[in-house]
Chains A and B, each alone.
Chain A
Amino acid sequence: MYTASDLRKGLRLKIDNDPYVITEFNFVKPGKGQALYRCKLKNMLTGSQFERTFRSVDVFEPADLREKKMQYLYKEGDKFCFMDNETFEQVYLTEGQVGDAVNFLLDNIEAEILLFEDRPIGISLPNFVELVVTEAEPWAKGDTVSGATKPVKVQTGYTILVPTFISEGEKIRIDTRTGEYLTRVKG
């Protein structure tokens, strides 16, 4: 079981037999008052969202989710096709089920397909992915610690803000939960 202090964005809970993921999380506490955990929860099956405020005494059941490595094959219409490399079984996910993961999905890569009671319901990316910068303005020298950012495009076509010292062809690490730049990858 989880307690309220485990709550954070991305945590998955089972509520009324459905898996939910916390999409927004806000810790709220008047100085002298009680701690409140304001969550926006998304039903991982239907996509419907609701907001609820929890308290420190609340407990939560973890959602029983399993991940299985599958290979991303192609997109057909609004369906994404993945194949289990052991059984050669193919499964399909909708655009809604793939969600923001599309920003980090390369052809033929292995992805973790999320199974809830053996049903494929979504794609689970690692928290961090490394992608190559394919389009970037050149780096103005002497600008290394100015704190300024610039937009670049990575190989999936996703546009992301990075420090100005990043140049084309470099590999960067991205946090897939926030979609934000984390660090440059050397080598």
Chain B
Amino acid sequence: MSTLRQEDSFRLARKSQALRLRAEFTQCLRRRFLEQGFLEVETPLRIPSPAPEEHIEALASDGWFLQTSPELCMKRILAAGYPRIFQFCKCFRAGERGGRHLPEFSMLEWYALHTDYQMLMRQCEALLQSALADTGHSEKIIWRNQIIRLPLPWERITVKDAFSRYAPVSLQNALAGGRFDEVLTEHVEPNLGCDHPVFLCDYPASMAALAKLKEGDPAVAERFELYMGGMEIANGFSELTDAQEQRRRFEEALEARAAKDLARYAMPEPFLAALEGLPPCAGIALGMDRIIMILADAPNIDDVVAFPPETL
């Protein structure tokens, strides 16, 4: 055998457990979705404009962009009256590379009409719990020496309470000082989901590009993130269905991007038009590579994909 071929076989052979778990878990999830009447859909990877968000960078592709998420197209399908849809797909984000980030990664997204973020959290925990049980983890799963116990319901904690429990500064002060992400990642996240999965919910309204604000409390958005072992696994919310408000938020994001000299995105007009007819609904994006890391007890995202970009 040539040395190059031997090295490649060696590298890939070490991933056999993770690659098998990925295939198995994907099939378990797919089966659960189909049982519950979800329609599996496919949307284009290459799109004219991603959702304008201040902190998400798309990769350019021959005048268009590779999708940063399938959100816009999936909500257009939803607006046409399809009540429950899901998709496994690749998403691309420029400049994101680290132990938990790949510039090309696998996303599972699902949406349901006449659902809000509270219902979606229940749906999410039930779905993951049953799919984890299918793969032999009915009571607990161990990731990096942390025993994560799986019985329902999983904990809910608001962003505000999580800051006062774990951070040296209050949510209000972190926001005022422009240090929300820093404090969140350094002090809050490492404590979330270590004993059992946790939903971090009710994000500040300013941190919700496409989420609906909470009824009776417009300072927060009906948005949550699922954490396991201190790692962000999924992000879901009650969808904003007010086209005018959505346009205003996109304009704000586009201005913020222009001020920082970031890539210009066109206003996604067909999506805004579709929003006019979108009933109340909720949707969630789950990082498949991340949850496979937990399943395979892998410390690094590179361990669960056959080809990290550097190996190509």
A residues sitting closer than 8 Å to B (CB atoms) are 5, 26-36, 38, 53, 56-57, 144-147, 163, 165, 183-184, 186
Contacts and interface: CB of A to CB of B under 8 A. Distances in A.
Given A53-B182, A57-B260, A147-B16, A34 B55 contact: yes
B99 interface: yes
Label chain B's interface by main secondary structure: mixed
B239 interface: no
- Which among A27, A28, A31, A57 has the highest number of chain B CB atoms within 10 Å? A31
Interface stretch (B7-15, B77-85, B147-155): B7-15
B207 interface: yes
B6 A144 contact: yes
Interface in B36-67: 53-56
A153 to B, nearest CB: 21
B221 to A, nearest CB: 11
Contact of A183 (B3, B53, B97, B287): B3
Given A32-B56, A147-B13, 6 more contacts: A27-B98, A31-B225, A32-B55, A33-B185, A34-B181, A35-B96
Interface of B: 1, 3, 6-7, 9-10, 13-14, 16, 53-56, 95-99, 101, 180-182, 184-186, 189, 207, 209, 225, 232, 235, 260, 285, 287
B300 to A, nearest CB: 12
Given A31-B225, A145-B10, A184-B3, A26 B186 contact: no
A36 B185 contact: yes
5 contacts: A5-B95, A31-B232, A32-B56, A53-B182, A147-B16
B13 A145 contact: yes
Given A36-B185, A53-B182, A57-B260, A29 B96 contact: yes
